Structure 1
């Protein structure tokens, strides 16, 4: 069998969730959209089912997959519903939904429902993707309350630059949100992973009933480019690994792989690893991107191809055919690989495919 695989540590996932609760002092929806950022939504939900306050997904298809797997409790649709007809499924499966547009409010007002809905009403405080304009929030809130079809409303927004620890934009967004919501009696949800980890000073006295939405931090990756104290407590959940399947001796001056992106400056011992961009490893990772080979630091050399990549074994004489190579995990953080490849750990995880996932700590 091809040795490429992703090891998923579910106990690390639980510990990261507990850290989100500890740091925020609030109820937490575990964000498991996009197949739990490539970690497997059903297995991650099952691992957290005993302690998570609820889950958040992107859309109803992701929610129904969880319900079919027997996951009970709150599941929030972060993108809301896309057609009015989905309200029947939302009601039937007791889902929570975000409302972010005027047409969604109108659809709820017109809907025939047997039970009231649990809604999260989103205000655009500065992200400028979706959400009611701040000036529209009060009217939308009152219309939903007057419709007789709503059990509760959580007021929410989303930070655009909370991962930039020296940026004033988060404070500005918070002020915009508070101004828009002044006088409305409802719980709120503002904090994503970077806000939970990096902006505790904005939420020194959280209101009872507040919700947070940890996403990337659940999977043990930092959302920040620089070191950050709370993020250092995260435990990587995924270890992407494979093995060396071939060894080559390359003389000085000889090119390696597609495009001759690496030319040996000295006699170089090359290990070929069964891992490529078809597995989700970033094609644009350059020479020098860190790897871990049989417990020792190593480096990628040459261009990543579809099914294979190459590493430098010149200074690792004990490594060879069958040696274990960690592409990211506890020894090579996904954020390090992402930085070398000019991307973010979110994309690394979500791009994972073809590689079997093996779970521990269930």
Structure 2
């Protein structure tokens, strides 16, 4: 019998979330962001599930783009960080990729080549994230250089990234948004600005293209959920089972360091899942799980291959009982990956992308 841990991937939910992104911005196109192995869900499987719906995909680097091409994906692919060295431009042309340009050396390298066909370019502006992009005062000159080289560049767009589109306090978002709106108007530039939170909650940021990312996988990126984000459907369910049960007296410790001690005569179950599978070791006592579709809580530190849950209030739970670490249980109950992330003092992105290759993925709705 195989170890019971697996990640079930609901491709129908993935498509539902993509359609929601399109519905929220009917005048925009939506590039589906598939970086980091589709946020841990499987790059090729997710791309194939969205083929025919998404007009383009986005990844972080050329290696991810090559994997898509090798997997038979022919749709346009955007390199969100652009090239990392000038020699990659030959591969960009061969693979038919679109590139972000965020720095002078990338711009110079692009304009120094005479490709067989021009490259679609998204010029990245640093509107306040202070990560990648041309400062606003230099963006116009970069735009002019690119727009005046039609033999090298085509389909030029203005791109930026919001630092606080997810936040309840919208002051900084509006500062970035106003700067970008003025720049785009001055240049007559089509834009790609909206990430997942802006797609869900900031209609004024919707442009020619939007970039839904984590929302595609059912995670709500907003500080305060809205009507749109509540419609997201979680794509990954991380399943396992109880593999052992222990009865403890009050005061007995559990796990490394004895962090959790039984507050009363207790019954605990051992689950086949640990940080060696990608489950976050920082999960605190009380982090929720679903056991046979009912809520229970982690007791003690997560080990490499196992974790322990308190079954005292679940007398029917036993060896073989279903455990959902996040996602949808067999009885339909859902445990949000966002809720689990809060107990780990992190965000859903780290949990989803952290599920390691030794955890088999099972795809449904393909």
Answer yes or no: same fold by TM over 0.5: yes
Cα distance in 1, alignment partners of residues 218 and 212 from structure 2: 11
Pairing partner for 2:324 from 323, 326, 349: 326
Shift of 1:161: 0.8
Pairing partner for 2:73 from 66, 71, 79: 71
Pairing partner for 2:213 from 187, 212, 215: 215
After superposition, the C-alpha distances for 1:86-111 in whole angstroms (9 at most, x for unaligned) are 11111111100000001111111111
2:168 touches 2:223 (CA, 8 Å); kept in 1?
no
> What SS is found at the alignment partner of 1:139?
helix
1:274 touches 1:307 (CA, 8 Å); kept in 2?
yes
Shift of 1:59: 0.4
Q: Give the structure-1-normalised TM-score.
A: 0.97
Pairing partner for 1:259 from 249, 257, 277: 257
Pairing partner for 1:114 from 113, 116, 135: 116
Shift of 1:255: 0.5
The number of equivalent residue pairs is: 357
Partner of 2:94: 92
1:193 touches 1:217 (CA, 8 Å); kept in 2?
yes
> What SS is found at the alignment partner of 2:187?
coil
Q: Give the structure-2-normalised TM-score.
A: 0.96
> What SS is found at the alignment partner of 1:191?
coil
After superposition, the C-alpha distances for 1:135-177 in whole angstroms (9 at most, x for unaligned) are 1111111111222311220111000011102231111001111
Partner of 1:18: 19
Shift of 1:227: 2.9
Cα distance in 2, alignment partners of residues 51 and 263 from structure 1: 51
Within a 5 Å distance, the mapping from 1:300-319 to structure 2 comes to: 300-319=298-317
1:165 touches 1:198 (CA, 8 Å); kept in 2?
no
Return 5+ residue gaps in structure 2 as ranges: 329-333
Pairing partner for 2:169 from 157, 166, 172: 166
Within a 5 Å distance, the mapping from 1:115-130 to structure 2 comes to: 115-130=117-132
Return 5+ residue gaps in structure 1 as ranges: none
Partner of 1:357: 361
Shift of 1:338: 0.3
Cα distance in 1, alignment partners of residues 109 and 87 from structure 2: 9
Partner of 2:181: 178
1:278 touches 1:306 (CA, 8 Å); kept in 2?
yes
